[in-house]
DNA sequence: ATCTCTCTTCAG
DNA sequence: CATCGCTGAAGAGAGAT
């Protein structure tokens, strides 16, 4: 603490106000020296340019008898991130008015900086900049406008560091205690409080709450108020207990103390600060920005009534907050509230406005002509001022059409009035009706007790306006159905899984050395528009965009090239686009059709004899066409052949789909992508020539290099002062340590890219590493209950997706979008400006079920401790994935493993659908995630309670085996042969009758694919160590067929469960299928309408599963098709240059056998043995007996050394005999 | 040195 | 009516081992 104070003093502005400029110049070179002369020179040049600019401006002004006030002559300013006005505009203003503009904070050493300008900072940056004067761009703009340097404190950006959870805790108290009690407590022990901080670390604090205390008391005793309660309401006792020790030891326990704003402020703004004190003394200090806030407010001159009202509240809160800030202990500053002022509102608005206007962010070039333009304007000061004024207006959001602002404010008002008349209006809406029902006990007409309360509740949009309540499972499906980004992501993931085909990649790794491959990048021209207008010939040649209903604030997903002429871009808001192009026509999404077209596209690719295909997106693929193009180049040049091939594919796609694609072709992926840019629209661009490549790179902006977006391009411009790829490439030798500047991997990679070098391969090797769900649209919670319900539904969604691809995972990350300011975005139900928080936990074992995920997620979210009312988005991600079945596509699953790693937590903890009613939990679910080590134990304890039915499942063989007579063809030889002989005849797989379904719980989709015990007792762990699988070497279709049969079986069971019956029958039948456990006694107690709801939820869940399984089946069929074509191409590839097309290459085969044995030192995967048997049978049936014999002999020789392989050869021989 | 965790960025 | 702002990969950087 002492050190920190010392540092503050050292850094305090007064210490350096005099002559910072010199200081900066003095320190500058020292800093620059580290990174090479180039940068030093560049920096110097820029500094000189600045000085020249200033002098010119002054001279020009003088000529007209005017003067440019040197407002910033004592300022060294650094602009961070994206601002409005842009960094360049700010730079001009600062420089012309006497300031020093720093291009690089790091290099010049932060000590030289007097001000940092930013519109928005990430949490990390906030921390980093905490002891500097961080102001909004308005500070510069207003200073210039007023011809007087404005007080920075009024423009301070960092005011609250995201203490939303504090609010949450506070509100929790509000929910359980009377205002008077609360007030007493606040005022009563305020004096005990010592210095504290606004928060960043607050979230974790919640985790130290003893779980017994943390357990939400209100779940039993509903809050008296219907006002939102915290995720983790904290009984006052707990807080008092925690606070007590701090009376003794006031020192913060934080490892790294951070200066509070208040102390910082006191050191240089005392006067102003004290002027604004509502009352003297340690507790009464109000922050000076309150004043500034009001000034700004007046300046804005908008929305007087509402904002003033809110402002008043804000002031009160600031006051309250200040109390705790100056005098707080290290406990949560209870009365802290998020900063509320029109400054922040303005920033918020301006950022939304920027987003609306600036969906695409072109490089901000430091253009000489622009500079000159301004210079000439500066001559006439008024021109400059006018310009600035306009900018200023845009900043506070007036640049937007007035109706937008009105709209958002109207919503705000609407909320208030709706609140009053809530009762009758809610009745009309079924969703609300249900809500009302749920909450009837916990709700009273209690109005907000204290103004603060209103603040956080103000702009809640009532969920009644959406078709489904937030905690209704249909909310999620409805959203995903309409979300383009969800569709894009899902399509991509599916395509990648389909083409992942690790078998092929490992079999024939493409030559890595670049230069000898030929890569094509194919992409539909404005895909969504093209497809959506297929049946709209009237729209050809007109500017068209696809967006949701053409609504004002809808995103444009795609616009055609006609529209792009007007500057319309993908991702832009409709309103902005319409301003640019009033004639813009809008069409709706047509997701099914996109899928269709995409399928046709990929079918063509698959039939095109390409070496590798990497799906980039639904409408975009990278292909390695080396073989094909080389084969076509016998009578022409390679590039002519490439063009022919590309055009052939393009023509075929056009003929099949009616849509245009463009193709870029070059020697690596990067260049193919760049060529594609050249090719668009509707063209082919082949680029083999080195000269052409260099030329292209010399005109390619760095921000156009794939993987380099706004941020990194900005860093490069800031640090290296280049924005052209070719130029950066030439800096390679001048600046040796790109790694230090741009990151250990990025640095070299960017340089390579700028040189046109790229060694990456087209083939997709990696299995996915994570799976997640996330929604940040329409997310509004009124209380914790809704939040929990939503989290449960999200968990279910995630579990279902995991099930679909058969993965489990052992790490879980929760993500929250938390509203930043009180201003809501004009985008309907949008999340607006948010802070994003992640928290992850290692679970200690793999999980995949809804209940497991929900349990862990709830724990994490609880630990994050935010007020549900402020939450604008929720995400759950699972990482550290393990494949459920062997290596992803194998059907094999050790039965035991299924039980030990996936204890089915079951539902007693959970309400069936998370919404209707609470079944009392018998353990505190929040405790578990904090105790990963004991997780399993707890779970097993629980299993004891519910384990009756489970016990029956334990014997791995009898019940399951009966149901899966075909499983384990390795052991029962007959069926496999036929399947192999007619691979992929999915219809031939028998559909088993649902009547012989195994025990209900096992009817979960994963289970039927599990296989009963096996003779060789390989443990699951051991098997995982077997890192090279023969399936990678020898593709097989058999497994898919088994899987398919299992899926079809399951489908039948699910469909059967949907039949008619009494409620009790229905629930009994469906319950096990939806992985839920409702106590039938409880169920029968429920009113029939609630019973119906439960049944509805179950039905929905089952329908969802049916859909999911149907899709899996489709995928499997598809995958089989691909596998088969691959198999064919493998044979062809292998035999190339060796023997004949059909005859296996013995040498090759034997070497693979060696590889197999060597890599699987602890024994083969039994699937692989099966594959091998099938393969050898195949060879034998084809008449290549000697190959078979050689293989078996070779194998037996190889396996002689390895005990784990001892039985394998015998098994193979037996298998061969049986076949 | 290497791993883990969190945060950030990018793409379509 | 608004509107449907997802998702997975990769990297940086800090801290633990
Ligand atoms: N911000 C974005 C970007 C893209 N897409 C969707 C719509 C696009 O049609 C599709 C493909 O994106 P592309 O980047 O390939 O852009 P287009 O296909 O629209 O145009 P083009 O490829 O011709 O540049 O993805 C989207 O919904 N939102």
A389 and A383 in contact (C-beta within 8 Å)?
no
- Provide, in whole angstroms, the distance separating residue A321's CA from nucleotide B3's C1': 41
What is the pLDDT confidence band of residue A945, given thresholds at 50, 70 and 90? Answer: very low
A153 and A289 in contact (C-beta within 8 Å)?
yes
Q: Which two tokens stand for residue A381?
A: 């000061």
- Regarding the beta carbon of A706 and ligand 1, being less than 6 Å apart is answered no
Q: Which nucleotide is nearest to A712 (CA to C1')?
A: B9
| CATH number, domain containing residue A113 | 3.40.50.10190
Residues composing chain A: 1219
Compute the distance between CA of residue A686 and CA of residue A639 in angstroms, rounded to an integer. Answer: 6
pLDDT recorded at residue A938: 32
- Regarding the beta carbon of A803 and ligand 1, being less than 6 Å apart is answered no
pLDDT recorded at residue A970: 20
Last residue of a domain, one of A1080, A1103, A1127: A1127
What is the pLDDT confidence band of residue A664, given thresholds at 50, 70 and 90? Answer: very high
A529 located within any domain: yes
A293 located within any domain: no
- Summarised one tens digit per residue, pLDDT across range A685-725 is 999 999 999 999 999 999 999 999 999 999 999 889 999 99
What is the pLDDT confidence band of residue A74, given thresholds at 50, 70 and 90? Answer: confident
What is the pLDDT confidence band of residue A12, given thresholds at 50, 70 and 90? Answer: very low
Using CA positions, which residue lies closest to atom 1 of ligand 1?
A571
Domain co-membership, A672 together with A811:
no
* Domain count for chain A: 5
ipTM for this prediction: 0.98
Compute the distance between CA of residue A398 and CA of residue A390 in angstroms, rounded to an integer. Answer: 9
| CATH number, domain containing residue A632 | 3.30.70.270
Distance (Å) from CA A592 to ligand 1 centroid = 16
Would you give the distance in Å from CA A535 to the centre of its chain? 34
Compute the distance between CA of residue A632 and CA of residue A647 in angstroms, rounded to an integer. Answer: 13
Domain co-membership, A1097 together with A1202:
no
- With 90 as the cut, is the pLDDT of residue A578 above it? yes
Tell me the mean pLDDT in the region A250-268. Answer: 27
- With 70 as the cut, is the pLDDT of residue A118 above it? yes
Distance (Å) from CA A834 to ligand 1 centroid = 25
Would you give the distance in Å from CA A1194 to the centre of its chain? 50
More confident residue, A578 or A379: A578
Three-state secondary-structure class, residue A628: helix
Highest mean pLDDT among A139-143, A663-667, A1199-1203: A663-667
- With 50 as the cut, is the pLDDT of residue A457 above it? no
Domain co-membership, A586 together with A703:
yes
Chain A 605-624 contacts with nucleic strand B (CB below 7 A):
616-620
- Provide, in whole angstroms, the distance separating residue A78's CA from nucleotide B8's C1': 21
What is the pLDDT confidence band of residue A94, given thresholds at 50, 70 and 90? Answer: confident
- With 90 as the cut, is the pLDDT of residue A799 above it? yes
Q: Which of A281, A302, A280, A300 is nearest to A292 (CA)?
A: A300
In this structure, of A19-33, A188-202, A1061-1075, the range with the lowest mean pLDDT score is A188-202
- Report the percent of chain A where pLDDT is more than 70: 46
A620 is in an annotated binding site: yes
Domain co-membership, A671 together with A805:
no
- Regarding the beta carbon of A88 and ligand 1, being less than 6 Å apart is answered no
pLDDT recorded at residue A905: 24
Highest mean pLDDT among A90-99, A413-422, A1149-1158: A90-99
pLDDT recorded at residue A293: 26
Compute the distance between CA of residue A404 and CA of residue A396 in angstroms, rounded to an integer. Answer: 13
Compute the distance between CA of residue A600 and CA of residue A606 in angstroms, rounded to an integer. Answer: 10
Domain co-membership, A836 together with A709:
no
| CATH number, domain containing residue A800 | 3.30.1490.100
DSSP states along A1133-1164:
HHHTTSS-SSS--HHHHHHHHHHHHHH-TT--
Highest mean pLDDT among A834-843, A905-914, A1084-1093: A834-843
- Regarding the beta carbon of A491 and ligand 1, being less than 6 Å apart is answered no
- Provide, in whole angstroms, the distance separating residue A813's CA from nucleotide C8's C1': 14
- Summarised one tens digit per residue, pLDDT across range A505-557 is 443 454 444 458 999 999 999 999 999 999 999 999 999 999 998 899 999 99
Tell me the mean pLDDT in the region A862-877. Answer: 93
Domain co-membership, A751 together with A772:
no
Domain co-membership, A680 together with A615:
yes
Compute the distance between CA of residue A419 and CA of residue A453 in angstroms, rounded to an integer. Answer: 14
Q: Could you check: is the Cβ of residue A838 within 7 Å of any atom of nucleic acid strand B?
A: yes
A323 located within any domain: no
A65 located within any domain: yes
Domain co-membership, A9 together with A117:
yes
Domain co-membership, A551 together with A597:
yes
Ligand 1 mutation target, pool A490, A492, A527, A577, most atoms within 8 A of CB: A527
Tell me the mean pLDDT in the region A798-825. Answer: 92
Compute the distance between CA of residue A912 and CA of residue A910 in angstroms, rounded to an integer. Answer: 6
Q: Could you check: is the Cβ of residue A843 within 7 Å of any atom of nucleic acid strand B?
A: no
Q: Is A929 exposed, middle or buried (0-12, 13-18, 19+ CB in 10 A)?
A: buried
Nucleotides of C under 7 A from a protein CB: 1-13, 15
Distance (Å) from CA A488 to ligand 1 centroid = 10
pLDDT recorded at residue A59: 81
Three-state secondary-structure class, residue A1053: helix
Q: Which residues contact A184 (CB under 8 A, 6 or more apart)?
A: none
Domain extent at residue A1064: 1040-1127
- Regarding the beta carbon of A499 and ligand 1, being less than 6 Å apart is answered no
- Summarised one tens digit per residue, pLDDT across range A260-288 is 222 222 222 222 222 222 222 222 222 22
Domain co-membership, A830 together with A857:
yes
A682 located within any domain: yes
Tell me the mean pLDDT in the region A344-365. Answer: 36
- Regarding the beta carbon of A1083 and ligand 1, being less than 6 Å apart is answered no
- Regarding the beta carbon of A710 and ligand 1, being less than 6 Å apart is answered no
Q: Which nucleotide is nearest to A714 (CA to C1')?
A: B9
Last residue of a domain, one of A824, A854, A882: A882
What is the pLDDT confidence band of residue A172, given thresholds at 50, 70 and 90? Answer: very low
Cis peptide before A551 (omega within 30 of 0): no
Q: Name the β-bridge partners of A701.
A: A724
- Provide, in whole angstroms, the distance separating residue A670's CA from nucleotide C17's C1': 38
Three-state secondary-structure class, residue A615: strand
Compute the distance between CA of residue A729 and CA of residue A762 in angstroms, rounded to an integer. Answer: 24
Kind of pairing, strands A100-102 and A76-80? parallel
A538 is in an annotated binding site: no
Last residue of a domain, one of A106, A126, A159: A159
Q: Which two tokens stand for residue A797?
A: 């969604």
Tell me the mean pLDDT in the region A996-1020. Answer: 28
Q: 3-state DSSP helix/strand/coil percent for chain A, to nearest 5?
A: 55, 10, 35
pLDDT recorded at residue A463: 43
| CA A216 vs CA A72, A210, A593, A922, A1121: distances in Å | 54, 12, 48, 13, 53
Compute the distance between CA of residue A1131 and CA of residue A1152 in angstroms, rounded to an integer. Answer: 14
Compute the distance between CA of residue A1152 and CA of residue A507 in angstroms, rounded to an integer. Answer: 9
More confident residue, A68 or A694: A694
Tell me the mean pLDDT in the region A444-462. Answer: 32
Highest mean pLDDT among A332-346, A590-604, A1146-1160, A1198-1212: A590-604
Q: Which residues contact A180 (CB under 8 A, 6 or more apart)?
A: none
Q: What is the mean pLDDT of chain A?
A: 61
A597 and A378 in contact (C-beta within 8 Å)?
no
A124 located within any domain: yes
- With 60 as the cut, is the pLDDT of residue A410 above it? no
A1055 and A1106 in contact (C-beta within 8 Å)?
yes
- With 70 as the cut, is the pLDDT of residue A678 above it? yes
A594 located within any domain: yes
The model's pTM is: 0.55
DSSP states along A726-770:
HHHHHTTTT---HHHHH-TTHHHHHHHHHTT-----SS--PPP-E
pLDDT recorded at residue A374: 28
Cis peptide before A135 (omega within 30 of 0): no
A681 φ, ψ (degrees, to nearest 5): -90, 155
CA atoms within 13 A on the CB side of A619: 22
Ligand 1 mutation target, pool A483, A486, A526, most atoms within 8 A of CB: A526
Q: Which nucleotide is nearest to A746 (CA to C1')?
A: C11
Compute the distance between CA of residue A94 and CA of residue A565 in angstroms, rounded to an integer. Answer: 35
Tell me the mean pLDDT in the region A435-461. Answer: 32
Q: Which helix (H) or strand (E) holds A784?
A: helix A784-805
A565 located within any domain: yes
- With 60 as the cut, is the pLDDT of residue A728 above it? yes
Ligand 1 atom closest to the Cα of residue A484 is 27
- Regarding the beta carbon of A1168 and ligand 1, being less than 6 Å apart is answered no
More confident residue, A195 or A845: A845
Nucleotides of B under 7 A from a protein CB: 4-12
pLDDT recorded at residue A431: 33
Q: Name the β-bridge partners of A430.
A: none
Domain co-membership, A783 together with A748:
no
Highest mean pLDDT among A267-271, A1020-1024, A1158-1162: A1158-1162
pLDDT recorded at residue A146: 85
A853 and A910 in contact (C-beta within 8 Å)?
no
- Regarding the beta carbon of A23 and ligand 1, being less than 6 Å apart is answered no
Q: Which of A632, A726, A754, A728 is nearest to A686 (CA)?
A: A632
Domain co-membership, A590 together with A722:
yes
SS (H, E, C) A457-475: HCCCCCHHHCCCCCCCHHH
- With 60 as the cut, is the pLDDT of residue A949 above it? no
Tell me the mean pLDDT in the region A303-310. Answer: 26
Chain A 102-131 contacts with nucleic strand B (CB below 7 A):
122-125
pLDDT recorded at residue A919: 23
What is the pLDDT confidence band of residue A1121, given thresholds at 50, 70 and 90? Answer: low
């Amino acid at each position: 603490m002492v050190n920190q104070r010392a540092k503050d003093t050292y850094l305090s502005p007064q210490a350096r106000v005099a002559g910072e400029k010199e200081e900066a110049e003095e320190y500058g070179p020292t800093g620059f020296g580290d990174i090479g002369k180039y940068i030093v020179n560049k920096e110097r040049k820029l500094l000189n340019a600045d000085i020249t600019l200033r002098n010119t401006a002054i001279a020009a002004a003088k000529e007209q008898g005017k003067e440019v006030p040197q407002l910033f002559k004592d300022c060294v300013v650094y602009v961070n991130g994206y601002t409005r006005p842009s960094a360049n505009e700010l730079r001009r203003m600062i420089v012309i008015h006497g300031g020093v503009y720093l291009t690089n904070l790091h290099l010049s050493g932060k000590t030289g900086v007097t001000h940092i300008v930013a519109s928005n900072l990430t949490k990390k940056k906030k921390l980093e900049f905490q002891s500097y004067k961080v102001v909004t761009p308005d500070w510069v703009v207003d200073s210039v406008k007023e011809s007087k340097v404005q007080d920075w404190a009024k423009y301070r950006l960092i005011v609250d560091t995201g203490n939303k959870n504090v609010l949450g805790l506070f509100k929790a108290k509000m929910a359980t205690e009377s205002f008077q009690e609360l007030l007493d407590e606040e005022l009563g022990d305020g004096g005990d409080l010592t210095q504290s901080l606004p928060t960043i670390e607050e979230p974790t604090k919640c985790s130290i709450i003893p779980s017994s205390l943390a357990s939400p008391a209100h779940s039993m005793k509903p809050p008296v108020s219907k006002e939102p309660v915290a995720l983790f309401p904290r009984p006052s006792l707990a807080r008092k207990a925690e606070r007590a020790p701090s009376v003794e030891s006031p020192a913060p326990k934080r490892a790294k103390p951070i200066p509070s704003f208040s102390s910082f402020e006191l050191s240089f703004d005392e006067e102003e600060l004290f002027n604004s004190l509502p009352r003297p003394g340690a507790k009464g200090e109000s922050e000076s920005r309150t004043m500034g806030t009001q000034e700004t407010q007046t300046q804005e001159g908008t929305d007087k009534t509402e904002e003033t009202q809110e402002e008043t509240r804000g002031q009160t809160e600031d006051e309250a907050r200040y109390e705790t800030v100056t005098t707080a202990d290290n406990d949560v500053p209870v009365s802290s509230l998020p900063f509320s002022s029109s400054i922040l509102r303005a920033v918020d608005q301006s950022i939304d406005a920027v987003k609306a206007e600036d969906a695409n962010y072109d490089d901000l070039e430091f253009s000489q002509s622009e500079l000159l333009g301004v210079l000439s304007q500066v001559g006439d000061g008024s021109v400059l001022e006018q310009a600035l004024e306009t900018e200023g207006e845009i900043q506070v959001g007036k640049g937007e059409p007035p109706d937008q602002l009105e709209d958002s404010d109207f919503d705000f008002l609407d909320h208030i009035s709706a609140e009053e008349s809530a009762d009758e209006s809610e009745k009309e809406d079924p969703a609300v009706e249900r809500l009302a029902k749920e909450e009837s006990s916990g709700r009273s007409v209690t109005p907000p007790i204290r103004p603060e309360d209103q603040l956080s509740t103000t702009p809640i949009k009532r969920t009644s306006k959406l078709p489904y309540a937030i905690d209704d499972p249909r909310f999620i499906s409805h959203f995903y159905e309409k979300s383009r980004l969800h569709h894009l992501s899902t399509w991509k993931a599916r395509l990648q899984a389909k083409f992942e085909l690790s078998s092929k990649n490992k079999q024939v790794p493409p030559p890595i050395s670049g230069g000898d491959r030929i890569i094509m990048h194919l992409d539909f021209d404005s895909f969504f528009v093209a497809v959506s207008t297929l049946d709209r010939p009237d729209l050809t040649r007109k500017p068209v965009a696809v967006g949701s209903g053409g609504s004002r604030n809808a995103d444009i997903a795609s616009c055609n090239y006609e529209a792009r002429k007007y500057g319309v871009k993908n991702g832009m808001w409709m309103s902005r686009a319409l301003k640019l192009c009033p004639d813009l026509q809008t069409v709706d999404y047509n997701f099914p059709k996109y899928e269709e077209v995409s399928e046709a596209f990929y079918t063509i690719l698959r039939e095109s004899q390409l070496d590798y295909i990497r799906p980039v997106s639904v409408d975009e693929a990278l292909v390695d066409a080396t073989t094909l193009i080389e084969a076509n180049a016998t009578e022409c040049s390679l590039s002519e052949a490439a063009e022919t091939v590309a055009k052939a594919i393009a023509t075929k796609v056009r003929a099949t789909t009616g849509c245009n694609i463009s193709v870029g072709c070059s020697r690596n992926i990067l260049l193919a992508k760049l060529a594609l840019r050249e090719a668009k629209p509707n063209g082919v661009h082949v680029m083999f020539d080195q000269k052409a490549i260099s030329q292209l790179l010399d005109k390619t902006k760095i921000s156009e290099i794939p993987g380099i977006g706004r941020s990194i391009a900005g860093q490069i411009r800031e640090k290296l002062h280049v924005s052209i790829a070719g130029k950066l490439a030439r800096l390679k030798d001048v600046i040796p340590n790109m790694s230090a500047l741009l990151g250990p991997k990025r640095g070299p990679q960017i340089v390579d890219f700028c040189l046109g070098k790229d060694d990456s391969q087209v083939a997709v090797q990696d299995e996915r590493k994570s799976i997640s769900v996330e929604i940040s649209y329409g997310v509004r919670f009124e209380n914790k209950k809704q939040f929990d319900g939503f989290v449960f539904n999200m968990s279910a969604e995630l579990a279902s997706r995991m099930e679909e691809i058969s993965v489990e995972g052992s790490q879980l990350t929760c993500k929250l979008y938390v509203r930043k300011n009180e201003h809501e975005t004009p985008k309907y139900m949008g999340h607006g400006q948010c802070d994003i928080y992640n928290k992850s936990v290692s679970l200690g074992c793999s999980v995949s079920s809804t209940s497991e995920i929900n349990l862990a997620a709830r724990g994490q979210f609880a630990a994050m401790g935010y007020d549900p009312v402020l939450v604008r988005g929720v995400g759950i991600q699972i990482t550290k994935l393990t494949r459920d079945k062997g290596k992803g596509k194998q059907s094999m699953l050790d039965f035991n493993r299924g039980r030990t790693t996936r204890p089915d937590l079951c539902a007693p903890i959970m309400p069936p659908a998370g919404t209707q009613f609470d079944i009392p939990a018998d353990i505190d679910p929040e405790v578990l995630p904090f105790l990963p080590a004991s997780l399993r134990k707890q779970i097993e304890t629980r299993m004891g309670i519910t384990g009756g039915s489970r016990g029956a499942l334990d014997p791995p063989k009898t019940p399951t085996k009966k149901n899966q007579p075909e499983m384990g063809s390795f052991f029962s030889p007959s069926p496999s042969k036929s399947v192999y002989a007619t691979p992929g005849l999915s219809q031939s797989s028998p559909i088993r009758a649902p009547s012989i379904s195994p025990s209900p719980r096992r009817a979960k989709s994963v289970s039927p694919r599990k296989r009963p015990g096996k003779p060789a007792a390989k443990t699951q762990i051991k098997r995982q160590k077997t890192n090279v699988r023969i399936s990678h070497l020898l593709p097989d279709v058999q497994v898919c067929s088994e899987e398919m049969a299992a899926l079809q079986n399951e489908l039948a069971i699910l469909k059967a469960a949907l039949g008619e019956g009494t409620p009790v029958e229905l629930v009994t039948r469906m319950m096990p299928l939806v992985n839920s456990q409702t106590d039938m006694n409880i169920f029968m107690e429920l009113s029939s309408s609630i019973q119906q709801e439960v049944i509805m939820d179950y039905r929905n869940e089952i329908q969802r599963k049916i859909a999911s399984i149907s899709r899996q089946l489709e995928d499997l069929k598809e995958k089989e098709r691909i596998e088969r074509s691959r198999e064919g191409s493998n044979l062809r590839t292998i035999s190339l240059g060796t023997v004949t097309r059909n005859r296996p290459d013995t040498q090759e085969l034997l070497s693979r056998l060696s590889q197999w044995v060597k890599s699987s030192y602890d024994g083969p995967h039994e699937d692989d043995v099966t594959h091998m048997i099938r393969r050898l049978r195949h060879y034998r049936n084809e008449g290549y007996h000697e190959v078979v014999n050689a293989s078996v002999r070779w194998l037996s020789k190889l396996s002689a050394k390895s005990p784990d392989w001892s039985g394998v050869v015998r098994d193979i021989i037996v298998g061969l005999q049986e076949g």
